[in-house]
Structure 1
């Protein structure tokens, strides 16, 4: 509803132009989540901690009356913990990028409105909005900018500087890369290219979180503020039995799964699993300390991301493909949608180093960051008897991922446990279709003693071909917010966008033309929990997936010969979809609960 109201106010074309200009390397453009409702339940404030990310810098600024002050005069006091928590945003008043300055101001205003109902919390928070355009944003202009936003609920300061000379040290200290935009005649347009960042700063002037456009939302920010204000309490440490239980799922997998393959050079141990889990949830392993593995592979969302068709990485950069679920990932001989890796130990490094994922510049950069983090002292020696390295980081993360095994579903109890009551008649009809008329089991294999529901191979179903080669009536689907899509004229979109890079699947690895648009067969275990589906997240429901295969996929010269029309009736399609819901393991909640015990940042 919020997205629709915005569209009515500013019009389709402005949305398209703004998003295309600011995110020319992304397609389709997306309205940031901060404008809408949070699509998941934010973690409770007392369930996590926020590690310090560095000291908040000082700098000379002007208030709306033109009086000299400084950032440190408004940000905490290192000597005491009685001052307020601060949210610091950087904006310029004439910014028209809806996913830039207006987003930051909108989210802060929403927080202000929300805290009208929590006056005690409001007393402990201060908002700072600092312009990076001092030539235009004078104290008087900033006073005008903030006039309609202030209602007395929160202490909200609107700031500027006397000059760029006084501004630049502040921008550099907060890693704000601001570039002026010039027209084709070399004239300053008065606009800027910049990346949104909002800083959460505690009472001791420590930066505790940095929000980019994909993670700036009033719900999560308020919970983070409450988390910082929680008084330390003596908590019972997580029981080590949870980790021991995780090892048991490796040595004694749930019904329906075979033993997990364990490499000879990386035998499993409690220490490795514990260290790998710590790394998996640590946001400091990204370039700007904001992204962890767990933020794309969310435990509560099937170890994938149910909100986004394709993943979003550091600084809100869009990834081409859907986040694959990590359930039972230790069994797979091909990793990534295009099968480019065959080892979990090696696989973990690609997202760590990829620019639009965790964006680290090098392996050495990651290792140095780990080695200089006090809470990792001794952990690698304990787990591997050697220091952190490319090898041991990969081994630790792989060890944790091998514990994410889930089975003993109703199907398993019926098929392998011989419990005839575990599947009702509708599910049994669906299974007969699965192995018969629908021919699903040709790729999603079921064995006599266990079932991985994947052939660990790659196939061309036509999804990739359609995206690359088929025009949709000259329209392109544009995602405005989670679950909100519109069709926009493709020529109009192309006129303001960079050309979308085609995703050629396995061909990008082998350069074999026969491999164009081939993607890995995913496992169907826990499939009900891991929407959206396909390598690009283009199908939102199991019903859509079945309809796609029922029509025979998308015809193309390299379409797999196994993909052909199924001629399923509506009732048969419903039975098949229902059967797929019976593949959910009985330990899903246990794995979620176990993931929540993970240490975050410097928490031991």
Structure 2
């Protein structure tokens, strides 16, 4: 073979050693001490994309399937690259990682290395097999896959999704030289297919990468496959109880039982007083000050099942911390005794900034809002304010808490203030977008995100309703709009059958009449009209903020859209035509690439929320018992 990338690491290093230009740090010793693994956090930076690739035997594989279940280091290379800060560096670093993991079999089994060519015209499966053979002299170590694609058309969506821009260089005569111009990026991807770090040449070093890998393992706990059968492993789960692929028969859950999760309390008040990058100061009413004590009571109430009529249902059962304080399981929420709730449970991250409240904007303060689910017959089912107040008054573990925090016992006002205090601390920003736009970090996002931002601000017109300010962004105008979603639901004809998914990859077509016999009829929903009785307000719903969207699927007020790609496609098509359609809703005619880029931008709005979730896992859970005093005596 004429084009060998550096047949083996020894040849590669000797070649580079002769170069006159300074070598990147990854070729030598790191030169500084690293923090202990697990002593720092690696926030999710977005979803790792799927794509159709070829292995060294020429067989078609799913890149997403290769990423599932293992921590992965993914690099994009091409064999004829001669830039010492490019592909040779990535391959050298992966080779050294494989050497190091050969001495740690348990680490090696949980880590995968992938080198994917972005020159499929030259890097055929045969060429990639030859390259893989050159690095097989290391015994053991992490699995290292060398992949390519069937064509540039198959490769391009993958490059776009990972922000990997490249172009073919040309000589003085204008003819292509065969070389590619690109900027090296190596991706660290966790076992749930979330990107957790992106390394540039200045920071790509095997010791640093392995330290980050060990940090991810410390976060997830020991590998269940190697844990003793009688020992439950502990884990701190982050936000996003990911259900990606649930429709496939090969779906494997990544959820952890409550019994094996460990919490980690955080300073919630500090998260209110010094909100994360990208968020403005938190508005706190003068008559409802937030203190450590009021937050602690509100946190306790939020997870207390005893606040429902029959002691089985807490606020956290619709607003699930690891699911973005929303519910990824259901289009619309389910309340006490399985009762139907007609709207999607909104996420509570950054609820402090939300006004008005509810999808129809019927409340203006969190202190007031919290009472509606407590009293709704189809949510927590309490018959009256007094029933809740008296229940809290009589529970021994609340004795003295309200008096200490508020100067008086539980009542309608102090219970509302306590729950609102906790909700005002659930502020999650410092997303990749924030670090790029407000923090001045050019490498915080990739090219696809930057292009998506341009679509958001320009051709897409999204910024008209999802506002961005010079110092912070809430991505909402706080107004209500008719996009046609509610209209379509109101006017839709009842189908004769409905497809019901009963297990991963298993769905049944069930007669709608049969479903109707055993279920409650779907309630009508006219949106803002139900509050104002103004006919022009039919099917208007509040503009949601766009932060942390990757954690809070499904989308829209009724949970009718499952993915961000489908949301973008809905708006690209101009919503659903109806007489009251908001004039800002129009056809966009975005290209496929523009839609993909826009999704990449929306994914880059997910902030660093892990600590809030870990704190929620550390909160006490109030469960009903036979010793609880009844509120009515």
Give me the TM-score of the superposition, normalised by structure 2: 0.56
Write the distance in 1 (CA, Å) between the matches of 2:337 and 2:434.
42
Is the 1:551–1:567 contact (alpha carbons within 8 Å) kept by the matching residues of 2?
yes
Query: Residue 472 of structure 2 is aligned with which of 450, 453, 457?
Result: 450
Cross-structure match for 2:244: none
Instruction: Establish whether residue 292 from structure 1 lines up as the match of residue 340 from structure 2.
Output: no
Query: Structure 2 vs 1, CA of residues 487 and 504 (structure 1 numbering), >3 Å: closer, same or farther?
Result: farther
| Separation in structure 1 between the aligned mates of residue 573 and residue 491 of structure 2, nearest angstrom | 18
Mapped pair 1:279 → 2:315:
no
Q: Which runs of 5+ in 1 are unaligned?
A: 1-116, 122-218, 228-234
Residue 374 (1) aligns with residue 396 (2) = yes
CA apart distance, 1:517: 0.8
1:467 and 1:509 map into 2 onto residues whose CA distance is: 19
Q: Distance in 2 between matches of 1:354 and 1:277?
A: 21
Structure 2 contact 343–558 (Cα < 8 Å) conserved:
yes
Q: CA deviation at 1:500?
A: 3.0
What's 2:452 paired with? Answer: 430
- 2:603 corresponds in structure 1 to 581
1:313-462, aligned counterparts within 5 Å? 313-462=335-484
- Structure 2 distance, partners of 1:482, 1:281, is 30
**1:534 aligned residue:** 556
Taking the aligned partners of 1:533 and 1:308, their CA distance within structure 2 comes to 10
- Residue 491 (structure 2) pairs with residue 469 (structure 1): yes
Label 1:272 to 1:496 Cα distance change in 2 as closer, same or farther (>3 A).
Answer: closer
User: Does structure 2 conserve the Cα–Cα contact (< 8 Å) formed by 1:452 and 1:525?
Assistant: yes
Q: Is the 8 A contact 1:338 1:520 kept in 2?
A: yes
What is the alpha-carbon distance in structure 2 between the residues aligned to residue 349 and residue 258 of structure 1?
A: 26
Cα distance in 1 for residues equivalent to 2:363 and 2:603: 29
- Contact 1:286 1:360 (C-alpha < 8 Å) held by counterparts: yes
- For 1:497 and 1:589, the matched residues in 2 are separated by 37
1:591 aligns with 2:612: yes
**Shift in Å at residue 508 of structure 1?**
0.9
- Taking the aligned partners of 1:484 and 1:455, their CA distance within structure 2 comes to 41
Equivalent runs, 1:241-320 vs 2, <5 Å: 242=266, 245-320=267-342
Residue 357 of structure 1: how far off its partner (Å): 0.5
Give, in angstroms, the shift of residue 602 of structure 1.
7.4
- Aligned equivalents of 1:452 and 1:508: distance in 2? 26
Report the equivalent of 1:147. none
Matches within 5 A, 1:504-543: 504-543=526-565
CA distance in 2 between partners of 1:294 and 1:496 (Å): 27
Match of residue 549 from structure 1: 571
- Find the residue that maps to 2:588 and give its secondary structure: coil
Cα distance per residue 1:106-163 (max 9 Å; x no partner):
xxxxxxxxxxx99999xxxxxxxxxxxxxxxxxxxxxxxxxxxxxxxxxxxxxxxxxx
1:561 has 2:583 as partner: yes
Count of aligned pairs between the two proteins: 374
2:305 touches 2:623 (CA, 8 Å); kept in 1?
A: no
1:483 is displaced (CA, Å) by 8.3
For the Cα contact (< 8 Å) 1:307–1:482, is it kept in 2? no
Deviations 1:514-546 (A, max 9, x none): 111111111110001110111111111101111
1:258-291, Cα deviation, whole Å (9 max, x unpaired): 0010000011100000000000000000011110
Distance change (3 Å), C-alpha of 1:506 and 1:476: farther
Question: Residue deviations 1:236-276, cap 9 Å, x none?
Answer: x976xx2xx32122111111110010000011100000000
> Residue deviations 1:332-363, cap 9 Å, x none?
11111111110000000000011111001111
Q: 2:442, 2:229 → 1: CA distance?
A: 54
**1:375–1:602 Cα contact (<8 Å) kept:** no
CA separation of 1:440/1:285 partners in 2, compared to 1, >3 Å: closer, same or farther? same
Separation (CA, whole Å) in 2 of partners of 1:484 and 1:508 = 38
Structure 2 CA distance for partners of 1:282 and 1:499, relative to 1, 3 Å:
closer
Query: 1-side partners of 2:521 and 2:264: how far apart?
Result: 50
3-state SS of 1:596 partner: helix
- Calculate the aligned-residue CA RMSD, in Å: 2.8
Partner SS state of residue 573, structure 1:
helix
> Aligned partners of 1:482, 1:286: CA distance in 2, in Å?
32
Task: Assess if the C-alpha contact under 8 Å between 2:288 and 2:417 holds in 1.
Answer: yes
Does the Cα contact within 8 Å between 1:308 and 1:482 map onto a contact in 2? no
Deviation at 1:296, TM superposition (A): 0.7
Residue 440 of structure 1, CA deviation: 1.2
**1:510–1:276 Cα change, 3 Å:** same
Report the TM-score when normalising by structure 1: 0.58
**Distance of 1:338 and 1:295 partners within structure 2:** 22
Cα distance in 2, alignment partners of residues 405 and 419 from structure 1: 21
Contact kept in structure 2, 1:310 and 1:321, CA below 8 Å: yes
Cα displacement (A) at 1:501: 2.2
1:474–1:601 distance in 2 versus 1, CA, 3 Å: closer
In 2, the alpha carbon distance for the partners of 1:486 and 1:457 equals 40
223 and 442 in structure 1: CA distance in 2 versus 1, 3 angstrom threshold: closer
Q: Distance in 2 between matches of 1:472 and 1:313?
A: 24
